[in-house]
Amino acid sequence: MESMKKKIMEIEEIINNPEHIKTVDLKTLFNSFLSEIKNRIASYIGDYPTFIEPVFLEENVKIGDDVLLGPNVFIGTNSEIGNYVEISNSIIFENVKIGENFKIENCIISKNSVFNFSNLILKNSILSGINNREDDIRKIEL
């Protein structure tokens, strides 16, 4: 757990300074973090999403209907995942809101990010900020 926390903090620090991101370093750290959450499956009673382990949910994560999470997914405290969302190989930090029908693969989404719309496929990116439509999204390639 300690090493996991350390790595997630390192990742957070890197993505908070986007101009300094060295994609290669971040990728290594990202993969190493995802391998740490091995053999974990969240027990989430609600709308019964599908989980492919490892899936790590922090406190008070809200998950919509018909959601598929995993493998290799970390979701931070208080984040909200909309209906019909699919997430794999990704880190979602705390207080993130994902709209309906997003498919997210190999992404890091920084804390307090909001996606206030529906229907989008996101791959291999670092994302942040308040996004009220697809055009608002500023992606950094991962």
Partner 1 sequence: MPEREEKGFSRIKELESINLATDEIRDQVIQTKKEVEKDNKKLAEQLNRKFKSHKIKSYDIVGAIGAGKTAILERITEKLGLNYRILVICGDITTRVDANRIEKHNAETIQINTGRECALNAYHIHQIIKNKDLNDYDIVFIENVGNLICPSEFILGTDKRMVIVSITEGEWVIEKHPMLFKMSDIAVINKIDLLERLGTNLDKMINDAKKINPNIDVITTSAKKGQNIDKLMELMGL
User: Per CB under 8 A, which of residues 56..85 are in contact with partner 1?
Assistant: 66, 70-72
- Contact status: 53 vs partner 1 (CB under 8 A): yes
Min dist CB 93 to partner 1, Å, is 22
Interatomic CA distance for residues 127 and 15, integer angstroms: 9
**CA 60 to mean position of chain CA atoms:** 15
- Contact status: 89 vs partner 1 (CB under 8 A): yes
- Contact status: 118 vs partner 1 (CB under 8 A): no
Min dist CB 102 to partner 1, Å, is 16
